[in-house]
A = this chain, B = another copy of it.
Amino acid sequence: MTMPKRDTYTPDSLLTVAVQVFNERGYDGTSMEHLSKAAGISKSSIYHHVRGKEELLRRAIARALDHLFAILDEPEAVHGRAVDRLEHVTRRTAEVLMAELPYVTLLLRVHGNTDTERWALARRREFDQQVAALLKQAAAEGDLRADVDVRLATRLLFGMINSIVEWYRPERGTLAAREEVADAVAKMAFAGLRV
């Protein structure tokens, strides 16, 4: 059996700290000095656990992407009417975004300056396109309003969902709060605010 208790860092536990700092200061705005202060170990010790700054970013982004793509394989995202599958994916994406908040936040703020960042952007585009296909099908089945362009609607939908990272903070009773937010997103996106 592997022991659950650790008073030293593992690559993963170090990642937890790093991702938090990245989100506070921005990836480019964070130095290894900042990370060492936050982690409570020296700058050089960080390199004992990971190859460098960019590996921390890569690990974080990979984790976010894994969780997001897993949504598309869930039964409710595969079977049923397209508009219902779309609503499920919408709700689940919002939930995953809140559950994996700091990791997804990093993913969403990538600029494309390095190879790692460009890879992140490409994978994100893949995910978006799969959801866009779902939207297109729902429109073809006549379940979405016809006076809004499908690509435009996709972008606005993702915009609304992704914006959660800008303000959501997982302080309180997490699960109920997450469901309330995901519910609000689904209501607003599919039924609108107006009575």
Contacts and interface: CB of A to CB of B under 8 A. Distances in A.
Interface of A: 24-26, 28-29, 83, 109, 111, 113, 142-145, 147-149, 152-153, 155-164, 166-167, 180-181, 184-185, 187-195
Given A25-B113, A28-B28, A157-B188, 10 more contacts: A29-B111, A29-B113, A145-B194, A148-B184, A152-B181, A155-B167, A163-B163, A190-B192, A190-B194, A191-B192
A29 B157 CA distance: 29
A148 B29 contact: no
B29 A184 contact: no
Q: Is the interface of A mostly helix, strand, loop or mixed?
A: helix
30 contacts: A25-B113, A26-B113, A28-B29, A29-B111, A83-B194, A109-B109, A143-B195, A144-B193, A144-B195, A145-B191, A145-B193, A149-B184, A152-B180, A152-B184, A153-B184, A153-B188, A155-B163, A155-B166, A156-B185, A156-B188, A157-B188, A159-B160, A163-B163, A187-B192, A188-B189, A188-B192, A189-B193, A190-B193, A191-B194, A192-B192
A162 B163 CA distance: 8
Contacts of A159: 159-164, 166
Nearest to A23: B111
Given A153-B188, A163-B159, A194-B191, A26 B145 contact: no
A23 to B, nearest CB: 9
Contacts of A109: 109
